């Protein structure tokens, strides 16, 4: 119904009158219209007929992904305002025979734009607008406005708290049914009833706990199955459903635990994508079991894809860069974020402030002097983390909360480490972890950039001043080496969480992505996929002629009796390795001759094999 839209950049009005759209362009909604890139405020207009079959039917406008601060008018009358893009905006209205809808969207002025207000994304990817959904719901006198579900585990007992919000146009005194059904597996269903009593024109919320017998847990993809349950509410002919699952996550000095079991997370950062399901599939194909929604709140379709694929989701608040924010506003958004995402079993970690300072905006070279400068820049970095800590303390969740994800010098709870890109070479990761061992426990970012189209590198911030843009293939090879070297070193050192930055370029010319903007694979994608194999043999150092050690890392929950075969030029050999679950073991070494082009490690375990290739 809401399928024909126009849009134009506007000057926000100072009163309750709708803005005037001068020379509007046809635009696709939901979406981010390229023609409006760079605008600080945009207005969208559509018309539609009466959506009702009769005058007794009621109508509600639903806008999701309404970025960032918005006002909505129907037939010239202000319906309301909205300032939390990751929470659906709902406005009940009285339709006319011919309806006009105007939605004004403005960039945030509270500092909580996250990655959308940084140059990591092009202007075309951060146009204020209606990003995820726009539709009109029709319903009778009784409307089920919302059904929220909160799972809770107490040892082997599962409980789902269902909260049903009912809007009554006429008096109601009935019982709503709440049914529970396992999704895709056999298990105990359940049914409960809850009394709903409301006067005409009243909105009420009722609550009921549903006990789940022998609850089946949701697991990341390489640790178990993705069991989920659907709760369905019915009342007076109206119906609403919500899906959830049972999982527990902790992250502390003892490492990462999922459902009480020790685990390790191998992840990638993602920025907003037009294909959220494709992004999740690409991350899983690279052997990731975690994705980090980098400084933005992921769409509902992205969270659902993570639930289905078995990827743990690190969900950030939209807060990035050296910005000052109101902690009370941060607490409001934290409440909204938890409320919006708590049903999703894949949401395992929340983040508050990303990259609060950038001591390495100007890159450092390699060598002794550069390493001294790195320590100096980290020491003199000035960042007051009290606001991030204050916001983090307001999260009403049993999930771990990471107040600060940042570079050395910001006292981060999760470290953004860029040897081989911001400073030094990839092999400097060893020295960095030796000097700052705590930085290697939870790593929220690592990686390097590369070029796809040398003619457009000036459009990619930070790219041209770090690499030689005229040889795209060479930059992509170096990116692959850096990602592989740093990722494998972090795994060898027992990091609980690692997350490469980023899954995909935001611009056609190149960037930090393992994939190009069009989805094509760069060499770094397969390099990371090899490095992220749950059970894998890795070199202990950068391959060069001579002897290099080999370590077998085991992120699985099973004891491994593995055989490693290796070839390097005209040489080869094999050795056995026994590795306990979630451990690593030095297994032997390879002797690389002069003139070798590559080293290939092949690990076999229980009849299955994986390879790991290093090009010299």
Q: What number of residues does the chain have?
A: 616
Contact 524, 479 (CB under 8 A): yes
For the stretch 559-571, pLDDT in tens is: 999 999 999 999 9
pLDDT in tens, 258-289: 999 999 999 999 999 889 999 999 999 999 99
Same fold, 5-138 and 270-291+305-317+324-532: no
Buried b (16+ CB within 10 A) or exposed e, 136-147: beebebbbbbbb
Statement: 270-291+305-317+324-532 belongs to CATH 3.30.360.10: no
Multiple choice CATH, 5-138, 3.90.1150.10, 3.10.20.340, 2.60.120.260, 3.30.465.10: 2.60.120.260
Q: Where do the domains of the chain lie? A: 5-138, 142-244, 270-291+305-317+324-532, 539-615
426-440 confidence digits (pLDDT tens)? 999 999 999 999 999
pLDDT tens sequence across 375-396: 999 989 989 999 999 999 999 9
Fold exhibited by the domain 539-615? Immunoglobulin-like (2.60.40)
| CA 587 to chain CA mean position, Å | 35
Tell me the average pLDDT across 466-488.
95
For the segment 184-200, the average pLDDT, to the nearest whole number, is: 92
pLDDT digits (tens, 9 = 90+) for 486-511: 999 999 999 999 999 999 999 999 99
Report the distance separating Cα 59 and Cα 328, nearest Å.
34
At residue 258, the pLDDT reads: 97
Q: Looking at 421-570, which runs of residues are DSSP E strands?
A: 442-445, 450-451, 497-500, 510-511, 535-539, 546-554, 560-568
3-state SS, 273-333, equals CCCHHHHHHHHHHCCCCEEEECCCCCCHHHHHHHHHHCCEEEEECCCECCCCCCHHHHHHH
- Position 141 scores a pLDDT of 92
pLDDT of residue 464: 81
> Pairing state of beta strands 265-270 and 290-293?
parallel
- Give CA–CA dist 368/355, Å, rounded: 26
DSSP string, 383-408: ---HHHHHHHTT--SSS-EEEEEE-T
- For residues 62 and 234, give the distance between their C-alpha atoms in angstroms, rounded to a whole number: 20
Residue 377 sits at φ, ψ, to 5 deg, of -65, -40
Q: Is the pTM of this model over 0.85?
A: yes
Per residue in 75-115, pLDDT tens? 999 999 999 999 999 999 999 999 999 999 999 999 999 99
- Write down the CATH superfamily of domain 142-244: Immunoglobulins (2.60.40.10)
pLDDT, one tens digit per residue, over 345-368 is 999 999 999 999 999 989 998 899
What average pLDDT score do residues 209-215 get?
94
Strand-strand pairing, 58-67 and 89-93:
antiparallel
For 289-336, how does the pLDDT look when each residue is reduced to its tens digit (9 = 90+)?
999 999 999 999 999 999 999 999 999 999 999 999 999 999 999 999
Digit-coded pLDDT (tens) for 13-55: 778 999 999 999 999 999 999 999 999 999 999 999 999 999 8
């Amino acid at each position: 119904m809401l399928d024909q839209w126009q849009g134009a950049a506007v000057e926000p009005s100072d009163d309750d009158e709708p803005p005037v759209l001068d020379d509007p362009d046809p635009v696709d909604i939901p979406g981010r219209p390229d023609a409006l890139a760079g605008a600080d405020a945009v207005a969208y207009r559509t018309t539609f007929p009466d959506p009702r079959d009769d005058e007794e039917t009621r109508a509600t406008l639903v806008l999701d992904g309404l970025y960032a601060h918005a006002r909505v008018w129907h037939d010239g009358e202000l319906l309301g305002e909205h300032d939390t893009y990751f929470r659906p905006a709902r406005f009940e209205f009285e339709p006319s025979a011919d309806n006009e809808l105007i939605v004004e969207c403005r960039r945030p002025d509270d500092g909580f734009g996250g990655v959308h207000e940084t140059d990591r994304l092009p202007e075309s990817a951060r146009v204020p607008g209606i990003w995820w959904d726009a539709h009109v719901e029709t319903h009778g006198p009784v409307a089920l406005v919302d059904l929220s579900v909160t799972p809770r585990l107490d040892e082997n007992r599962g409980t789902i708290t269902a909260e049903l919000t009912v809007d009554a146009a006429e008096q109601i005194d009935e019982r709503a049914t709440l049914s529970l059904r396992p999704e895709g597996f056999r298990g105990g269903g359940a049914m409960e009833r809850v009394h709903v009593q409301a006067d005409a024109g009243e909105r009420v919320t009722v609550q009921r706990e549903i006990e789940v017998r022998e609850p089946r847990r949701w697991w990341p993809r390489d640790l178990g199955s993705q069991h989920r349950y659907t709760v369905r509410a019915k009342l007076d002919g109206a119906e609403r459903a919500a899906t959830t699952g049972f999982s527990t996550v902790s992250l502390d000095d003892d490492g990462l635990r999922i459902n009480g079991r020790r685990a390790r997370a191998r992840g990638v950062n993602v920025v907003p994508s037009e294909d959220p399901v494709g992004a999740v599939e690409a991350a899983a194909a690279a052997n990731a079991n975690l994705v980090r929604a980098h400084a933005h709140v992921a769409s509902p379709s992205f969270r659902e894809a993570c639930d289905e694929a078995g990827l743990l989701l690190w969900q950030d608040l939209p807060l990035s860069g050296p910005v000052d924010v109101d902690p009370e506003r941060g607490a409001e958004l934290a409440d909204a974020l938890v409320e919006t995402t708590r049903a999703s079993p894949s949401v395992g970690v929340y983040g508050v402030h990303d990259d609060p300072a950038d001591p390495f905006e100007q890159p450092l070279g390699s060598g002794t002097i550069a390493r001294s400068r790195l320590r100096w820049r980290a020491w003199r970095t000035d960042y007051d983390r009290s606001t991030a800590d204050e916001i983090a303390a307001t999260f009403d969740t049993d999930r771990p909360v990471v107040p600060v994800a940042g570079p050395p010098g910001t006292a981060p709870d999760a470290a953004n480490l860029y040897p081989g890109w911001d400073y030094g070479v990839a092999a400097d990761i060893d020295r960095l972890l030796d000097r700052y061992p705590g930085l290697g426990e939870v790593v929220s970012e690592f990686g390097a950039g590369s070029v796809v189209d040398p003619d457009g590198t000036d459009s990619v911030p930070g790219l041209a001043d770090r690499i030689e843009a005229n040889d795209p293939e060479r930059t992509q090879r170096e990116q692959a080496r850096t990602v592989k070297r740093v990722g494998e070193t972090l795994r060898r050192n027992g990091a609980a969480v690692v997350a490469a930055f980023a899954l995909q370029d935001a611009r056609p010319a190149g960037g930090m992505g393992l994939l190009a903007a069009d989805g094509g694979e760069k060499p770094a994608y397969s390099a990371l996929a090899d490095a992220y194999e749950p059970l894998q043999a890795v070199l202990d150092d950068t391959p060069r002629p001579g002897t290099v050690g080999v370590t077998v890392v085991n992120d699985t929950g099973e004891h491994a009796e593995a055989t490693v075969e290796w070839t390097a030029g005209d040489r080869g050999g094999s050795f056995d390795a026994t590795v306990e679950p979630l451990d690593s073991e030095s297994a032997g070494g390879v002797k690389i001759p002069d003139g070798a082009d590559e080293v290939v490690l092949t690990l076999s375990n229980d009849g299955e094999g994986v390879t790991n290739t290093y090009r010299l």
